[in-house]
Amino acid sequence: MSIFIDKNTKLVVQGITGRDGSFHTKQMIEYGTQVVAGVTPGKGGQLFEGTVPIFNTVEDAVKATGANTSVIYVPPPFAADAIMEAASSGVQLVVCITEGVPVLDMTRVYPFVKERGVRLLGPNCPGLISPGQSKVGIIPGRICAEGPVGVVSRSGTLTYEIVFQLTRAGIGQTSCVGIGGDPINGTNFIDCLMAFEKDPHTKAIAMMGEIGGTDEQDAAKFIKENMKKPVVGFIAGQTAPPGRRMGHAGAIISGSAGTAAEKIEAFEAAGMGVAKRPIDFVDLIKARLK
């Protein structure tokens, strides 16, 4: 099984003719994702790679192809409008890869998407993959394998590292989800943990957090009170000095709540396994799959 995407996912790519959009569309098609349409204003009626129809609007694409998911590869100044256009089109899931979307824009986008009952993943995220079924975004398909572990992370590169380590150790994944590290994003840890808890094929969860904010503490509380499946966690940025932003826009320590130590303490209090290094996930997950 999987969460959020599967073999029935029909994908429309916003920005399909751009550099990043065209490159990753080819990768998604090669992986087996049903890319049914692309959107680039002014290029409607053309074909991408001779097979994927291009439309001027997401609404037109959805009406013509039955697309239920959108992925966005457009520059930051246009990302907010692209998300809201997708949310208004009838798709159920919007995945925004774009990095550098202004926080002020997201204060408008977040309630707009929620009011329409659409799930937003991102922005500034690597997307997600359900091994053997579908890939939406930029997570390399070759490092993934089908199996019983759900993966959720704020960091894109850390997602790749953990997935690679698990796959190399013979531990496959049900779905791997990169939620992004911006201060305002559409899907958080708890959303993913709830979905993994309900998925009958997910037997354990690997969760990668980082300094800044309180999302990891909130997730730990949820795990302690609501989850039966084992969760192993890791916090990136453990050596970061207070007040200095490290990587993601949301990865900044303010007071004590955003520190790695406070987050790790919350993980331990919730009964989670705590990885000191990414490679530690292998043994910690193996122990919990027995």
Residue 248 is among the residues annotated as catalytic for this protein: yes
User: 120-149 in b/e burial notation, b at 16+ Cβ within 10 A?
Assistant: bbbbbbbbbbbbbbbbbbbbebebbbebbb
Max Cα-Cα span within the chain: 57
Task: Enumerate helices (H) and strands (E) in the chain, giving the number of each.
Answer: 9, 14
* Total number of residues shown for the chain: 290
Distances (CA, A) of 30 to 26, 96, 127, 217: 6, 20, 16, 38
Give the 3-state secondary structure of residue 200.
Answer: coil
CA-nearest of 154, 129, 155, 123 to 143 is 129
Cα–Cα distance measured from residue 29 to residue 84, given in angstroms and rounded to the nearest whole number: 25
Cα–Cα distance measured from residue 172 to residue 19, given in angstroms and rounded to the nearest whole number: 31
DSSP tag of 141: G
Which residues are CB-contacts of 170 (< 8 A; sequence separation ≥ 6)? none
**H or E, element range at 205:** strand 204-210
Cα–Cα distance measured from residue 28 to residue 52, given in angstroms and rounded to the nearest whole number: 12
Given the residues 24, 119, 154, 248, select the one marked as catalytic. Answer: 248
Bridge partners of 231, per DSSP, are: 205
| Residues carrying an active site annotation | 248
